[in-house]
Amino acid sequence: MSDPENWGEDDDNDPDYVPPGEMENGHITQSSNSNTEESDSTDDENQASSNNGQFDTDLPTAHRYLGKLNNVSGYTLYDDGEVLDILAIYTTTMVFPGFTLPLVMNNYVETTMMQNFIEKNNVFVLLCANSAFSGIYNYGVTMEIFETQMRNNVLNIKARGRQRCKLVPGYEIKSWAGRLKQVKIKIIAEPEISSPLCDTQLLSLKRKRLFTSTEYQDIVKNYKYRRYHLAQFPISPWVYDKYEISYYVKLLLDGLTHYIGEYIPEDPIKLSYWFVQNYQLRHDERLHILKLNTALERLKLEYKYLKLASSNTERKMCCDSCGTEITDPSKVFAMSKDGIQSNYVNPGGHVYETVTVMNAQNFQLVGNPSKQFSWFPGYAWTIMQCKSCNNHLGWRFTSTMLRPSCFYGLAKSGFKVVIHKKLSPEFLSEFPERFQSRGTSFASDYTPV
Ligand SMILES: [Zn+2]
């Protein structure tokens, strides 16, 4: 564990030191003159603290590092099943409805095309790689641009996820400049949430004995009437209970209680997207959820992942290239209102899906702390690399005034989620004995006679 007070001290004489500006995968900066950065640091830190030095988690979602952008008004929702010819952006990251994506475009052809597009339409589609990373995944999310600005030939954009969509099969995907593509998509309907019993109760009774609510508490309150009502059907009541969306909302929220101080939505649709955006899932698991059409299906699968994690498997966050363990999901915490995992962009235009964690291990720091283009106002970042293989893992963020004083932003591109089988309690209880007996024999072998 590195000490935030001693940052960069050991880097000065390091022959392998790479200036941040030359990092291929890290932050790209023009210069990292720490003297000039310090001059405005107090201002930044004062603005960033909401009260008592605690960091204001509203700030990262505003992506202030992009500067002040112009608002684009509107809220576009397409009809369910509507087919559109639309511009798509292909990135390494996926953003789910309700979440924000920042973009920086500095390629001349890309910016010109994007600008022409924005003049006519402010919705594009975000596409990402399939599970084998061999091509484009068939499902994506429509993104609505809500802020944009062209400054010094660089186009800054902020967009928010709106609706899930699917590529229409049989249509060619045209590749334009850079990450831009032209695709034909079909908007996927988000079905209204309903209970399996919603049409089986007389309207007149509904007002008095409502047992098909979206609130778990309401169902529990009127459960007696629900049992009476279900007695007329041949299938057991628990089968119907298991199709109530509020049941899964409750299970999921109960399973996420360790996300202390975290805003977790209770609305089933929002919760299903919050989970996939924030829980540490593998790329293929996230794609699978994106494909599911109803919030009920998504919540069910998410609960399965959550349950598996708490029973016989455990998730670890390991270096993507060599597999060294960096941290585990119990260390994640939210530094942003969007949650634990958010997208940020560097001046080079690379979008990093970043997970904020309290602790990390097996890393080394590269270069000096810098406040340039900091995603967390008031914090200075230092590049983190894997200790074993030098793979770029993310950044350590430090502040002398704000709380927490130190945390880590791990780039999704730098680590992978590895699922291990947990050792059973029986094995663990047996294990010390085995270990001890082996240790004794080892010691006795070498005891001088
Ligand atoms: Zn590594």
DSSP 209-220: S----SSHHHHH
CATH code given to domain 249-311 = 1.20.58
pLDDT tier at 271, thresholds 50, 70, 90: very high
Q: What is the mean pLDDT of the chain?
A: 78
CATH superfamily of this structure's domain 70-187? LON domain-like (2.30.130.40)
Distance of CA 326 from the midpoint of ligand 1 (Å): 9
The pLDDT, as a whole number, for residue 140 is: 96
Distance of CA 213 from the midpoint of ligand 1 (Å): 49
The pLDDT, as a whole number, for residue 191 is: 83
More confident residue, 191 or 297: 297
The pLDDT, as a whole number, for residue 388 is: 95
Distance of CA 359 from the midpoint of ligand 1 (Å): 17
Distance of CA 191 from the midpoint of ligand 1 (Å): 43
- The least confident of 1-10, 69-78, 110-119 is 1-10
Distance of CA 212 from the midpoint of ligand 1 (Å): 51
pLDDT in tens, 370-429: 998 899 999 999 999 999 999 999 999 999 988 899 999 999 889 999 888 776 665 555
pLDDT tier at 25, thresholds 50, 70, 90: very low
Of 385, 418, 423, nearest to 27 (Cα)? 385
Distance of CA 427 from the midpoint of ligand 1 (Å): 30
pLDDT tier at 14, thresholds 50, 70, 90: very low
Q: Is the predicted pLDDT of residue 438 greater than 60, yes or no?
A: no
- The least confident of 32-36, 136-140, 181-185 is 32-36
Give ion ligand 1 contacts, CB < 5 A: 319, 321-322, 324, 386, 388-389, 391
CATH superfamily of this structure's domain 1-6+20-48+312-449? Peptide methionine sulfoxide reductase. (2.170.150.20)
Distance of CA 412 from the midpoint of ligand 1 (Å): 14
Largest CA distance in the chain: 92
What is the β-pairing status of strands 325-327 and 313-319?
antiparallel
Distance of CA 321 from the midpoint of ligand 1 (Å): 5
All structural domains of the chain with their residue ranges: 1-6+20-48+312-449, 70-187, 203-243, 249-311
The pLDDT, as a whole number, for residue 445 is: 29
The pLDDT, as a whole number, for residue 423 is: 65
More confident residue, 259 or 301: 301
Distance of CA 416 from the midpoint of ligand 1 (Å): 11
Distance of CA 408 from the midpoint of ligand 1 (Å): 16
Of these ranges, 211-215, 268-272, 420-424, the one predicted with the greatest mean pLDDT is 268-272
DSSP state for residue 42 in the 8-state scheme: H
Say how far residue 281 (Cα) sits from the centre of its chain: 9
Distance of CA 328 from the midpoint of ligand 1 (Å): 15
Of these ranges, 1-5, 12-16, 125-129, the one predicted with the greatest mean pLDDT is 125-129
Rg (CA), the chain: 25
Class of residue 444 by CB neighbours under 10 A (exposed 0-12, middle 13-18, buried 19+):
exposed
The β-bridge partners of 156 are 104, 149
The pLDDT, as a whole number, for residue 35 is: 37
pLDDT tier at 15, thresholds 50, 70, 90: very low
Distance of CA 342 from the midpoint of ligand 1 (Å): 23
Distance of CA 371 from the midpoint of ligand 1 (Å): 26
CA dist 214 and 224 (Å) reads 17
Distance of CA 391 from the midpoint of ligand 1 (Å): 5
Is 1-6+20-48+312-449's fold the same as 249-311's?
no
What is the β-pairing status of strands 174-175 and 49-51?
unpaired
Distance of CA 389 from the midpoint of ligand 1 (Å): 4
Q: Is the predicted pLDDT of residue 29 greater than 70, yes or no?
A: no
Distance of CA 322 from the midpoint of ligand 1 (Å): 4
